[in-house]
Amino acid sequence: MSKRLKLSKKELKEFLDVKVEQYNHPHFIESDPIQIPHQFSKKGDIEIAGFLTATIAWGNRKSIINNAYKMMELLDQTPYDFVIHHQESDLDNLTNFVHRTFNGLDFIQFIKSLKHIYKNHNGLESVFSVNAKEHSLQFAIHQFKTHFFEISHLPRTQKHVSDPLKNSAAKRINMYLRWMVRQDQNGVDFGIWKSISPSLLSCPLDVHSGNVARKLGLLKRKQNDGKALSELDHALRQLDPIDPVKYDFALFGLGAFEGF
């Protein structure tokens, strides 16, 4: 276990703010899965491309990006239109898709569930904003999962949407929500969901951000789970209550690019 760095709260904030500036920059897009939704300009395309990309965002970054591009090709580069207007026969082309344990059957289920979200719950933004609580979006993620799978579905596909109420850190969905909600002045995050406050966002807690957070004394819990996320949320909201997840850029950048 690496030793904690002893910094005052003021020193810690100054250090992390510099790192945010360094990594919350358009150059970041070139090596990050967020480049996939950045191909699109329409809201529906951005949010569906982002959601599908975030869903497979685990493992090797290069393979995540390559497979997310494949997903967009299979959706004819019009993800929103495909989701809303697809016929059953259009789904046959998706059968052979695979990214780690997410396979073609899961992909097909996601397309059907997304159509259900748009047709019956007013779309992705609405299904999250309706259930946003005062301090966090973790309950909203739980409710989203419930709605996503309220149509007939394969039980195996449920594991691809995390549930914070089962103590998951829900890294991928929290990352997706950062992309959609955070009002980014630097053109990395989209900020197209105006009905949710960025102050409610949670850090996408992964190996990199978790290890760096522990070294900086922002996190004591050893597992990267829902309880750890709650602890990290509390620490980051003290540093910046309005835009706490800007520090994801600092924590991830320090871990992934600097081996901090």
pLDDT tens for residues 126-157?
999 999 988 899 999 999 999 999 999 999 99
Grade residue 260 by pLDDT with cuts at 50, 70 and 90: confident
**Rounded-to-5 percentages of helix, strand, coil across the chain:** 60, 0, 35
Residue 218 pLDDT:
97
| pTM for this model (two decimals) | 0.96
Residue ranges of the domains in the chain? 1-31+203-260, 34-198
Instruction: Using the predicted structure, report yes or no on whether residue 34 has a pLDDT greater than 80.
Output: yes
pLDDT-based confidence at 259, cuts 50/70/90? Answer: confident
For residues 235 and 241, give the distance between their C-alpha atoms in angstroms, rounded to a whole number: 10
Q: What is the structure's pLDDT at 2?
A: 52
If you average pLDDT over residues 44-59, what whole number do you get?
97
In the predicted model, what is the mean pLDDT of residues 84-94?
97
CA distance 59 to 237: 28
Q: Mean of the pLDDT values across residues 10-38?
A: 96
Tell me if 221 sits within 8 A of 230, measured CB to CB: no
Look at residue 7 in the predicted model and tell me its pLDDT: 85
Report the percent of the chain where pLDDT is more than 70: 98
User: Is residue 76 pLDDT above 70, yes or no?
Assistant: yes
- Structure tokens of 212? 């760096």
Average pLDDT, the chain: 95
